[in-house]
């Protein structure tokens, strides 16, 4: 406990979205205060103790923020690397800048996972223009997914590419009118399940991984998570081991979501990693002994990790866009836990909240 920051300390969070909101909600019961730093007000600033509204390159505001907090974490991985470096000179930043840099860039991420961790991924090639895309498709020999290396989420910044199609047109679907752009072409994986593991690593190097879960998407947006994934014990153990190896290799402190593809032959391939709590881990708020958000606070503030044990089988469903209008119907179901994020405007595909239903152990295997 020598590394622990005592109750009354302040956890600084970069980003003002719903993940920051749930980090702040988890910090309070442990006796911590939360200070949000974000360019605009959002879900997190509705529940925090203090907020700084400033751009991520505002060094005067960042310096004052660093003075006001005891440790810093992220709820948004696209914070500029320079911002993390500036803060790290003044206050502990967890996870570290290297983790952020790798997770922000899909080519660096895939290369790290494959070469440094030794874990399989889909085949991939770096491409920076339409001609290189054509060459990479020849090497790939199959259908691929072209993605921007930076930014892009919920299906944005990516497109499927078929052999024989116009590569200039395919390039334009992702890069627009840019002749040169930092992209990656990944081979399409004929997966059985999209899955993920949320894993936490503490300052002392101890690791705790939640069970592997199945993720179901609609229009490239996560719609539902089922915990646990209905897989063999060997696949479950392999997925958790992979997640633990990744955070250990990065000397990571905090919570990470590791997205995976499961293949018919029992293979586990890493797709992406998120250096923060993950949407597929929201089930843990109601369905685990210690939620991913409490784990995040515990890790960042130097506490021992809590138990990732499930309280039952769990179904988590994202509330997207105007689905939030069904609020009254959910209230009538006393078995559903409702989590709304306080967003003022419902737009198509926008994550407005989530619903959690905790079922008896083994219930999902009976479906």
Residues 6+ apart with CB under 8 A from 82: 57
Pick from 260, 129, 114, 130: nearest CA to 199: 260
Given this model, what pLDDT does residue 77 score?
86
Structure tokens, 152 = 């892009």
> Are the beta carbons of 144 and 188 closer than 8 angstroms?
yes
Q: What is the mean pLDDT of each run of 10 residues along the chain (367 residues)?
A: 87 98 98 98 98 98 98 93 94 95 94 96 95 92 90 74 89 90 92 97 98 95 97 96 98 98 95 96 98 98 98 98 95 95 95 98 89
How confident is the model over 276-315, as pLDDT tens digits? 999 999 999 999 999 999 999 999 999 999 999 999 999 9
Given this model, what pLDDT does residue 367 score?
65
How confident is the model over 2-29, as pLDDT tens digits? 679 999 999 999 999 999 999 999 999 9
Alpha helices in 113-195 (DSSP H): 130-140, 167-175
> Are the beta carbons of 164 and 199 closer than 8 angstroms?
no
Helix (H/G/I), strand (E/B), else coil: 36: strand
Angstrom distance (rounded) from CA 317 to CA 223: 6
Topology of the domain covering 10-93: Rossmann fold (3.40.50)
CATH of domain 123-187: 3.30.1490.20
**What residues does each domain of the chain span?**
10-93, 123-187, 193-366
**What burial class does residue 328 get, using C-beta atoms within 10 Å of its C-beta: 0-12 exposed, 13-18 middle, 19+ buried?**
exposed
CATH of domain 193-366: 3.30.470.20
Given this model, what pLDDT does residue 258 score?
98
């Amino acid at each position: 406990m020598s590394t622990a920051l005592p109750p009354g300390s302040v956890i600084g969070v970069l980003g003002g979205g719903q993940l920051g909101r749930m980090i702040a909600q988890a910090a309070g019961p442990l006796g911590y205060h939360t200070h949000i730093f974000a360019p605009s007000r959002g879900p997190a600033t509705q529940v925090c103790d203090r907020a700084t509204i400033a751009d991520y390159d505002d060094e005067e505001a960042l310096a004052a923020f660093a003075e006001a907090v005891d440790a810093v974490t992220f709820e948004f991985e696209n914070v500029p690397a320079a911002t993390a470096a500036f803060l790290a000179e003044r206050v502990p930043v967890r996870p570290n800048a290297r983790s952020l840099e790798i997770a922000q860039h899909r080519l660096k991420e895939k290369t790290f996972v494959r070469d440094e961790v030794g874990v399989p991924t889909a085949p991939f090639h770096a491409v920076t223009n339409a001609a290189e895309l054509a060459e990479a498709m020849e090497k790939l020999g199959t259908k691929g997914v072209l993605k921007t290396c930076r930014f892009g989420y919920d299906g944005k910044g990516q497109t499927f590419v078929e052999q024989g199609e116009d590569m200039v047109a395919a390039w334009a679907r992702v890069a627009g009118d840019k002749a040169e752009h930092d992209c990656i072409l990944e081979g399409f994986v004929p997966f059985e399940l999209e899955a993920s593991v949320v894993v936490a690593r503490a300052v002392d190097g101890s690791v705790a991984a939640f069970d592997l879960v199945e993720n179901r998407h609609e229009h490239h947006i996560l719609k539902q998570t089922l915990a646990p994934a209905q897989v063999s014990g060997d696949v479950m153990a392999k997925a958790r081991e992979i997640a633990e190896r990744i955070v250990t290799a990065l000397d990571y402190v905090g919570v990470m979501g590791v997205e995976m593809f499961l293949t018919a032959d029992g293979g586990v391939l890493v797709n992406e990693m998120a250096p923060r709590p993950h949407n597929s881990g929201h089930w843990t708020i109601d369905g685990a002994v210690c939620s991913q958000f409490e784990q995040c606070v515990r890790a960042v503030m130097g506490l021992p990790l809590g138990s990732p044990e499930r309280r039952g089988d769990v179904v988590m469903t994202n509330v997207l866009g105007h689905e939030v209008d069904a609020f009254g119907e959910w209230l009538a179901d006393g078995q559903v836990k409702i989590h709304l994020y306080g967003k003022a405007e419902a737009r198509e595909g926008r994550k407005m909240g989530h619903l959690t239903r905790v079922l008896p152990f083994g219930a999902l295997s009976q479906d």
